């Protein structure tokens, strides 16, 4: 089992890697057989080096900047953490969009095995 502070730190480190648009670092948070579900849009991505990687490549090609912040976390001693947060996406034309999201992370061996995303508005990960 992992303590709550460690789970929260992992969640925030993951979002920091996303915000820095560092694909290899982002993928290092996932188990190879991870499943990433965007529940609000009924989409499922399977495999860190396959569908999850492609999903992040699309995200990073779509936006000049991404930012996640204003976090509120609830962590469980059973390797689970829920993170509520604000997203600010800046397109290459300078337009900005905001979202209010919540992710549920399930960890195995210190890495994400399952992620469930609930997001407002259009699917920025599609």
DSSP 8-state class, residue 79 = T
pTM: 0.94
Separation between Cα atoms, residue 71 and residue 44, nearest integer Å: 24
Topology at the third CATH level for domain 4-118: Nuclear Transport Factor 2; Chain: A, (3.10.450)
DSSP 59: H
* Residue entry with tokens 């915000």: 19
Contact 65, 89 (CB under 8 A): yes
Residue 38 Cα to chain centre, angstroms: 10
| 9-36 residue pLDDT tens | 999 999 999 999 999 999 999 999 999 9
Q: What is the mean pLDDT of the chain?
A: 95
The owner of tokens 């999903």 is 55
Examine the pLDDT at 50 and tell me if it is beyond 50: yes
State phi, psi for 6 to the nearest 5 degrees. Answer: -65, -40
């Amino acid at each position: 089992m992992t303590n709550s502070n460690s789970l929260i730190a992992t969640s925030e480190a993951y979002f920091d890697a996303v915000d820095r648009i560092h694909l290899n670092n982002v993928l290092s948070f996932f188990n190879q057989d991870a499943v990433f579900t965007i529940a609000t849009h009924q989409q499922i991505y399977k495999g860190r080096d396959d569908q999850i990687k492609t999903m992040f490549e699309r995200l990073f090609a779509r936006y000049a900047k991404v930012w996640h912040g204003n976090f509120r976390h609830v962590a469980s001693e059973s390797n689970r953490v829920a993170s509520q947060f604000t997203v600010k996406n800046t397109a290459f034309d300078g337009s900005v969009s905001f979202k209010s999201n919540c992710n549920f992370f399930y960890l195995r061996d210190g890495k994400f095995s399952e992620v469930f995303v609930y997001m407002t508005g259009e699917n920025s990960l599609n």
